[in-house]
Amino acid sequence: MPRTTPFLALAVAAALLALTGCASERPGPAPTAAPGVGALSAPPEPMAGRWLLAGAGSSQCNMTFAGSDGAGEGTIAPEGGCPANFFTSRRWTFEAGSLVIRDHTGAALAQLAQAGPGRFEGKATAGLQMTLTR
């Protein structure tokens, strides 16, 4: 067997690997949003700051929302004592006219609609009536 065969096999493998990398750079359709996330829009008021989340007939807790003005998403830092599983809140998005509170995995915990300045109302995915106020 000629000595060039291992070198030829290595060269072919390297060429195939390089071509595989090129295939991932081809133009194609734009990436879609993560499952469960609709088109984001600007919230009706700046969300950054401290809010009080309360569940009807349940506990309440303060949450610090962060995000730039006009942004359709941001982060949440919940404090202790949150109702149900809202201690896992990590992100907020504003989509289709609703404020959606999401957990650390991106799953929706609640969908709230604005009920006046500094006030949102709606339901948790588990059915609990929720309010979020300044």
- Structural domain spans, the chain: 49-133
- Give the pLDDT of residue 13: 54
Match 């004592």 to its residue by tokens. Answer: 81
Angle at the Cα of 36 from the Cα atoms of 65 and 127, rounded to 5 degrees = 70
Threshold 0.75, pTM exceeds: no
Of 42, 34, 47, 134, which Cα lies nearest the Cα of 96?
A: 42
What is the C-alpha to C-alpha distance for residues 56 and 53, in angstroms, rounded to an integer?
10
Contact status, residue 61 vs residue 78, Cβ threshold 8 Å: yes
Average pLDDT along the chain, 134 residues, taken 10 residues at a time:
54 50 40 52 92 93 93 95 94 95 96 96 94 96
The class that CATH gives domain 49-133 is mainly beta
SS3 track for the chain = CCCHHHHHHHHHHHHHHHHHHHHCCCCCCCCCCCCCCCCECCCCCCCCEEEEEEECCCCEEEEEEECCCCCCEEEEEECCCCCCCHHHEEEEEEECCEEEEEECCCCEEEEEEEEECCEEEEEECCCCEEEEEC
